[in-house]
Amino acid sequence: MRLTTTLSAGSVTTSLTAGAASDVGSVRTVNEDSFLATGSIYLVADGMGGHRAGDRASQAVRESFVSRIAETDAATASEILGAISAANDLVRALSEDGPLSGTTLAGVAVVESAGTLQWMAFNIGDSRVYQFDGRTLTQLSVDHSAVQELLDDGAITLAEAAVHPDRNVITRAIGATDAVDADVWLLPMIGTQTFLLCSDGLSKELDDGRIADILVRHDPATAAVELVAAAVAAGGADNVTAVVVQSNSVSSGSDLEHTGERLTISARELEDTRPRI
């Protein structure tokens, strides 16, 4: 699955290349993951709840974004928050006439703000947003999970977290409460940026080094397929979904990377001497 989109606002133009892949895994019979990779919106939702409830929950999130966000333009941050809130309402409604269902959501969107484009990352639950700079993989999102809270408290180490019995317990989800708060990041669009969005079926099977190795070798579309294949091969205990999106942004503005050192007073005076009339 390969997608290319070009978006622009003000002085920034960005072209997006994306790929997505999903697999039921080696153990499960139903794939409860959903994803969206189109236009300005890229997301992964990992549904939970028996009897296909998780399936429907993650699809409700996808549908909420599809119906509310225009495909061709950059969204706004409030539109994204609105779609998340609407998704929460949809999943709550699902639970009313069926088993309790919920879903995670991890995504990035190109949003327009004050005449420029930004990456907005958002997360609820334990699906992940990773940033890849061509060399290093960095986890941008912070899991809403029991294990993450133990980690934050220093009660367990990263190594202990990987095998902790409660590592499937999440503390925030779409559909869990009447109102849901996403964690949000806003990043300037500069040069080449790559994001990986994935369900925990991928991040629990592959370590960061392995993920980075696959990302560095392939274009986004191939990388998504290769990542899912590698996670399934490594065990595939859960549904595995990956969305990889890469942006190449060009700004006609000034140098965004480096802050200039202001000239000292004397240097300024040397340069600013006016001609005497």
Partner 1 sequence: MFHYLPSAASEWFAIVHADLALLVRCDDDSRIDEYFAAVGGGDIRTVLDVLTVYGISATPAFALVDSSGPTAHLFVRGECTVTVTSTAGETVEASGAGVSTWTERFVEGAASFVLDAGSEPTTALPLVSGVARSTWLSSGHTVATPANPVVSEKPAPQIAPPPVLPPSLPAENTIVAPADSAAEVPTESASDASNSANYDRLFEETIVRSVADAAVLPPADEPDEPEPVVERPGDHDGETVLSDNVAKLLAGRKRETPPAAAPSAGPSLFLQLRDGTREPLGQPVILGRSPSVSKVSGANIPRLVTLTGDDDISRNHVQVTVEGGTVVVTDLHSRNGTWVIAPGKPPQQLRKGEATAVLVGTIIDLGNGSTLLVGQD
> Among residues 16, 48, 41, which one has the least CA distance to residue 200?
48
Distance between CA atoms of 64 and 47, rounded to whole angstroms?
A: 14
Does 270 bind partner 1 (CB under 8 A)? Our answer is no
- In the list 29, 96, 97, 115, the residue contacting partner 1 (rule: CB under 8 A) is 115
Q: Which stretch binds partner 1 (CB under 8 A): 15-23, 131-139, 170-178, 219-227?
A: 170-178
Tokens encoding 233: 């091969």
Q: Is residue 220 close enough to count as binding partner 1 by CB under 8 A?
A: no
CB of 48 to partner 1, least distance (A): 5
Instruction: Give the x-and-dash track for 5-44 against partner 1 (CB under 8 A).
Output: ------x-------------x-xx----------------
- Taking the C-alpha atoms of residue 194 and residue 188, their distance in angstroms, rounded to an integer, is 13
As measured in angstroms, the least distance from the Cβ of 209 to partner 1 is: 21
Q: Is the dihedral of CA 52, 58, 62, 68 positive or negative?
A: positive
Distance CA 145, CA 172 (A): 7
Instruction: Kindly state the smallest distance separating residue 39's Cβ from partner 1, in Å.
Output: 21
Measured CA to CA, the distance from residue 207 to residue 271 in angstroms comes to 55
Determine the interface stretch with partner 1 among 63-71, 130-138, 171-179, 212-220 (rule: CB under 8 A). Answer: 171-179
Site of tokens 């409030």: 78
Distance CA 225, CA 243 (A): 9
Helix (H) or strand (E) holding 131: strand 128-132
Q: 3-class DSSP state for residue 139?
A: strand
Q: How far is the CB of 266 from partner 1 (least distance, A)?
A: 10
d(CA 197, CA 25): 17
Q: Helix or strand or coil: residue 25?
A: coil
Figure out which of the listed residues 30, 155, 250, 270 binds partner 1, where binding follows CB under 8 A: 155
Q: Per CB under 8 A, which region of 34-42, 58-66, 214-222, 255-263 contacts partner 1?
A: 255-263
Helix (H, G, I), strand (E, B) or coil at 227: helix
Residue list 63-82, contact with partner 1 (CB under 8 A): 77, 81
Does residue 244 belong to the site contacting partner 1 (CB under 8 A)?
A: no
- Residue 271 as a binder of partner 1 (CB under 8 A): the answer is no
Q: How many residues bind partner 1 (CB under 8 A)?
A: 68
Q: To the nearest whole angstrom, how small is the minimum distance from the Cβ of residue 122 to partner 1?
A: 8
Least Cβ distance, residue 258 to partner 1 (angstroms): 7
**What span, in angstroms and rounded, lies between the C-alpha atoms of 180 and 147?**
20
Residue number with CB closer to partner 1 (97 or 257): 257
Asked whether the beta carbons of 196 and 132 are under 8 A apart, the reply is: yes
Q: Check if the beta carbon of residue 125 is closer than 8 Å to that of residue 172.
A: yes
Radius of gyration over every alpha carbon of the chain, rounded to an integer in angstroms: 21
Contacts to partner 1 by CB under 8 A: 11, 25, 27-28, 46, 48, 77, 81, 84, 100, 102, 104, 113-116, 118, 125-126, 142, 146, 149-150, 152-153, 155, 165-173, 176-177, 180-188, 190, 200-201, 204, 237-238, 253-262, 264-265, 268, 274, 276-277
